[in-house]
């Protein structure tokens, strides 16, 4: 390792010592992994998953037994009424967009209660002008910022008491922000408050990066509908694309009609041979998420020892797989990201540079030497080039690969 990746003995000693400190936390992660693995296996058994479910459909995709079985598996894992799991979803952001357009109508109000959503939804909502945004269809938008990394319960109560709201959107993961990600405990508390004020409000949760980090998911604690990507946690690094929407049956039917077309909805959509990969992905997902969490914990511990501010700290509760490192130094952000790319299996020779990306206002530096383009569950690191220069690191299909990536990235920031 020293010869090939040029990692010094000092860096190896630092990371190895931190690893020893993290072992009790790793044991808890392994226990959580076992619980979620049992949940997945029970769902496979309940739905009698067999080789016939690996078959593909083409064209319209009528009568796809595997697609139906997959959606039943997701429904059971999420403890909800229904699920829509499709390779026709391009990304998590696409699934969120389909969901929002499915649930909202002209003159309806969309309320975000955790501040501004992720950057890729700016043009979807209309925060940044786009002729196809929600606001262009006469859908109103309002947001309430978090208060000390928690929901502002007083402002939420006041707003809902004086305004009719159709959909409340909650993004659990922090995105490109400095706030903390939102726990299920906080989520359950705010959902109870919302439903007490108006039981008809649809609570929609962006659950990207959060699946299988805990033993429960938002739909099992009161959320009406939630959305996530298959090139993040639940794809297990195997599903080549796609996303899911899960929750109430009536809402899933609306989403299916928006994804395809009214009158056909979920009955169409060819799987083109992806069923086996989706099933393998969800089967492996608990273990892959555990590897990503261990990598994140170790990263936090090492960077704390080096004097950097991290979020969350290595001893804190994990809500998602994302680890933030606040460098307050543009060069350190760039070098750390280049270290992750250097330790990747794919395109390790590439020198990543900050560049413009669709959906973002700032230049983005991104390391993603992944088998699947943009796969966040594989070891990756990215961040916008803006103060305070935060690296958002996530993923790793196995813990050893995550540790090697961390070693390489730390070596670069110590020597540049």
Would residue 43 count as lying in a domain? no
Using alpha carbons, select from 26, 77, 35 the residue that is nearest to residue 281: 77
What does 18-74 look like in DSSP terms, one character per residue? HHHHHHHHHHHHHHHHHHHHHHHHHHHHHTT--GGGG----TT-TT-HHHHHHHHHH
Same-domain status, 215 and 296? no
Same-domain status, 223 and 355? no
Domain CATH code at residue 331: 3.90.1150.60
Spatial distance between the Cα atoms of 181 and 296, rounded to a whole number of angstroms:
14
Per-residue pLDDT, 193: 98
Same-domain status, 201 and 312? no
Residue matched to tokens 């395109």: 347
Per-residue pLDDT, 3: 53
Same-domain status, 250 and 139? yes
Domain that holds residue 346: 2-38+282-415
Q: Which residues pair with 279 in a beta bridge?
A: none
Same-domain status, 211 and 317? no
Per-residue pLDDT, 2: 47
Would residue 385 count as lying in a domain? yes
Same-domain status, 55 and 170? yes
Would residue 389 count as lying in a domain? yes
Would residue 216 count as lying in a domain? yes
Same-domain status, 191 and 298? no
Would residue 227 count as lying in a domain? yes
Spatial distance between the Cα atoms of 194 and 201, rounded to a whole number of angstroms:
7
Residues in the chain: 416
Same-domain status, 286 and 262? no
Residues 191 and 200 sit within 8 Å (Cβ to Cβ):
no
**How big is the CA angle at 136 (ends 86 and 164), to the nearest 5 degrees?**
85
Give the residue from 258, 278, 298 where a domain finishes. 278
Domain CATH code at residue 194: 3.40.640.10
Q: Which residues pair with 205 in a beta bridge?
A: 170, 226
The Cβ of residue 90 has, within 10 Å, a number of other Cβ atoms equal to: 14
Provide CB contacts within 8 A for 330, sequence distance 6+. 385, 389
Same-domain status, 31 and 117? no
Would residue 190 count as lying in a domain? yes
Give the residue from 246, 278, 310 where a domain finishes. 278
Average pLDDT by consecutive 10-residue portion of the chain (416 residues)?
Answer: 75 97 98 98 98 96 97 97 98 97 98 94 95 98 97 98 98 88 97 98 97 96 97 96 98 98 97 97 98 98 97 96 96 96 94 84 90 94 93 96 97 92
Same-domain status, 33 and 149? no
Q: How many domains does the chain have?
A: 2
Same-domain status, 200 and 257? yes
* Cα-to-chain-centroid distance, residue 53: 26
Q: Which residues pair with 147 in a beta bridge?
A: 150
Q: Which residues pair with 382 in a beta bridge?
A: 366, 392
Residues 414 and 11 sit within 8 Å (Cβ to Cβ):
yes
Helix or strand holding residue 227 (H, E):
strand 225-229
Would residue 44 count as lying in a domain? no
Would residue 153 count as lying in a domain? yes
Per-residue pLDDT, 126: 96
Same-domain status, 120 and 7? no
Give the residue from 278, 306, 321 where a domain finishes. 278
pTM flag (> 0.85): yes
Using alpha carbons, select from 291, 339, 305, 396 the residue that is nearest to residue 10: 305
């Amino acid at each position: 390792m020293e010869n090939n990746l040029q990692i010094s003995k000092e860096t190896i000693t630092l990371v190895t010592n931190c690893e020893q400190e993290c072992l009790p936390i790793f044991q808890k992660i392994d226990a959580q992994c076992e619980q979620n693995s049992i949940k997945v296996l029970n769902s496979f058994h309940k739905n009698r998953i067999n080789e016939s479910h690996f078959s593909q459909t083409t064209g319209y995709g009528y009568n796809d037994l595997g697609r139906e079985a997959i959606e039943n598996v997701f429904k059971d894992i999420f403890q909800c009424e229904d699920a829509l799991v499709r390779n026709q979803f391009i990304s998590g952001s696409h699934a969120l967009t389909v969901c929002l357009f499915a649930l909202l109508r002209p003159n309806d109000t969309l309320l975000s209660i955790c501040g501004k959503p992720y950057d890729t939804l700016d043009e979807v909502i209309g925060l940044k002008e786009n002729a196809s945004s929600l606001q262009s269809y006469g859908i109103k938008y309002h947001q309430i910022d978090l208060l000390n990394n928690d929901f502002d319960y007083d402002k939420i109560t006041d707003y809902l008491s004086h305004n009719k709201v159709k959909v409340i959107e909650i993004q659990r993961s922090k995105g490109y922000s400095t706030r903390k990600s939102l726990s299920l405990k906080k989520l359950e508390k705010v959902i109870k408050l919302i439903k007490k004020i108006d039981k008809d409000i649809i609570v929609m949760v962006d659950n990207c990066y959060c699946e299988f980090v805990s033993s429960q998911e938002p739909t099992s604690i009161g959320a009406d509908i939630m959305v996530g990507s298959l090139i993040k946690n639940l794809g297990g690094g195997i599903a080549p694309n796609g996303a899911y929407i899960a929750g109430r049956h009536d809402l899933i039917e609306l989403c299916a009609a928006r994804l395809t077309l009214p009158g056909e909805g979920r009955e169409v959509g060819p799987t083109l041979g992806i069923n086996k990969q989706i099933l393998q992905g969800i089967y492996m997902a608990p273990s892959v998420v555990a590897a990503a969490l261990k990598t994140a914990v170790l990263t936090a511990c090492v960077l704390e020892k080096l004097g950097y501010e991290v979020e969350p700290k290595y001893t804190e509760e994990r809500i998602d797989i994302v680890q933030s490192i606040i460098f307050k130094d543009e060069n350190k952000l760039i070098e750390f990201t280049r270290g992750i790319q250097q330790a990747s299996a794919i395109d390790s020779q590439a020198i990543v540079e900050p560049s413009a990306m669709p959906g973002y206002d700032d230049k983005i530096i991104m390391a993603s030497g992944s088998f699947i383009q943009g796969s966040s569950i594989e070891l990756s690191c990215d961040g916008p080039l803006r103060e305070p220069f935060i690296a958002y690191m996530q993923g790793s299909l196995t813990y050893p690969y995550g540790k090697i990536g961390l070693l390489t990235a730390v070596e670069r920031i110590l020597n540049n």
